[in-house]
Amino acid sequence: MDCVRIVTEFTESEISALVHPEWFEAFPWLLQGTTTRGSAGAPPFDFGLFGETSRPREARERWSTLQQRLGARGVVYSQQVHGADVCEYEEHSSGISGLELVDPCDGHVTSTPGLLLAVTAADCVPVFVIDPERRAVAVLHAGWRGAAAGVIESGVKKMASAFASRAEDLRLHMGPAICGTCYEVGPEVFAALREPVPDRPAPIDLRHVLAEHAVRLGVSRAAVTISAHCTICTESGLFSHRKGHRERQVGYIGVLD
């Protein structure tokens, strides 16, 4: 079986983000990246607004810094619940400016220029989806629970219903996340993902599992890539929940105005 291609994002230092090099070259209308913890000595570039993460006021200021640096009119973000709900913002999207906290869900789609879609993560996978034909984009938050709940399927279906995107036109990137060597899980996780179940805890490569979900839906294998960056072992300046970090990085995507 062919493997899904691994891609090493480059560091965009102005934004402090890891950016897909091929998409950056091929799609000048696209904004895409995953933030990192930022420069040494500076406060961590933390975007967590929910749960045990950092102070909300400082985090909100960071959201607005990110929005300004990227030149976006508005940013859509939600509390994430490890489910498979994906939302679109076409009808009322012109009214969004600044940080818009929408109802809890784990994915967002849009084709509206100037609107940035965001998920936060710290080991979970930020999944980026683009339809270059229709200039439509999505970002999904996928831990193992979301993967088991079918968040990839939901995202692809939402792209189809919202923009008539065909699976064969989509490109997907499994962004910086915990890698298949570092992520050891119990047999119940393999069972939930309908993978062969080991009899003791074992490592699982969640990004490969997610990539296979996309391929099964009709996305071309050549159109799927996986980030070489790991939140634990590649020293990429990323936050890791398993390492004890409370902070969160942001995976963002949007269509330029």
Question: Binding residues for Zn ion, per CB under 5 A?
Answer: 179, 182, 230, 232-233
Residue type, 127: V
Instruction: State the nearest-atom distance from the C-beta of 200 to Zn ion, in Å.
Output: 20
Instruction: State the nearest-atom distance from the C-beta of 119 to Zn ion, in Å.
Output: 20
Residue type, 145: R
Instruction: State the nearest-atom distance from the C-beta of 8 to Zn ion, in Å.
Output: 14
Minimum CB distance to Zn ion smaller for 15 or for 182: 182
Residue type, 112: T
Instruction: State the nearest-atom distance from the C-beta of 180 to Zn ion, in Å.
Output: 8
Distances (CA, A) of 206 to 66, 123, 196, 216: 28, 10, 13, 15
- Residue 80 CA from chain centroid, whole number: 12
Minimum CB distance to Zn ion smaller for 30 or for 209: 209
Minimum CB distance to Zn ion smaller for 59 or for 206: 206
CA dihedral for 7, 145, 107, 158, sign (positive or negative): positive
Minimum CB distance to Zn ion smaller for 179 or for 224: 179
Distances (CA, A) of 57 to 47, 53, 62, 216: 10, 12, 9, 42
